[in-house]
């Protein structure tokens, strides 16, 4: 398996522009997670989906952030408009999870976002 695939790997954009990050989870996994990692805050869970349905989006910083999972093999995280404080590494992870307990998550390589 190719693992979790994220694109782009690097994104540099100007403040005010729309940014879309993409993720393809591992085939057969039914949970998908978006994280943000910065030096100041460490690793933060933004939102996660189970069977394509958003379960918890309490980590989404504000209305400028939105995430979708239209099908089991694709998810997007959109920032509109972007701000310099959004600069971070964004990770996508997937797992085969169920309500009975936690399963390990497999992380993608991340997207390094720089907003100038």
Partner 1 sequence: AQSVTQLDSHVSVSEGTPVLLRCNYSSSYSPSLFWYVQHPNKGLQLLLKYTSAATLVKGINGFEAEFKKSETSFHLTKPSAHMSDAAEYFCVTGTSYGKLTFGQGTILTVHP
Both tokens of 3, joined, read 């693992």
| CB-nearer residue toward partner 1: 57 or 81 | 57
Length of the chain counted residue by residue: 116
- For residue 84, the SS3 value is helix
Residue 43 near partner 1 by CB under 8 A = yes
Read off φ and ψ for residue 84, nearest 5 degrees.
-55, -35
**Residue 109 within binding range of partner 1, rule CB under 8 A:** yes
Is the preceding peptide bond at 81 cis, omega within 30 degrees of 0? Answer: yes
**Binding status of residue 104 toward partner 1 by CB under 8 A:** yes
Q: By CB under 8 A, name the one of 8, 85, 103, 114 that touches partner 1.
A: 103
Residue ranges that bind partner 1, judged by CB under 8 A: 31, 33, 42-43, 45, 48, 50, 55-56, 91, 93, 95-110
């Amino acid at each position: 398996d190719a693992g979790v695939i994220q694109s782009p790997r690097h994104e540099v954009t100007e403040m005010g522009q729309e940014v879309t990050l993409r993720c393809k989870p591992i085939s057969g996994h039914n949970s998908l997670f978006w994280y943000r990692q910065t030096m100041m805050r460490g690793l933060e869970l933004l939102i996660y989906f189970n069977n394509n349905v958003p379960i918890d989006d309490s980590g989404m910083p504000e209305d400028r952030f939105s995430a979708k999972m239209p099908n089991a093999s694709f998810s997007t995280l959109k920032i509109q408009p972007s701000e310099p404080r959004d600069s971070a590494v964004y990770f996508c992870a997937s797992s085969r999870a169920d309500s009975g307990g936690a399963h390990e998550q497999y992380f993608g390589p991340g997207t390094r976002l720089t907003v100038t």
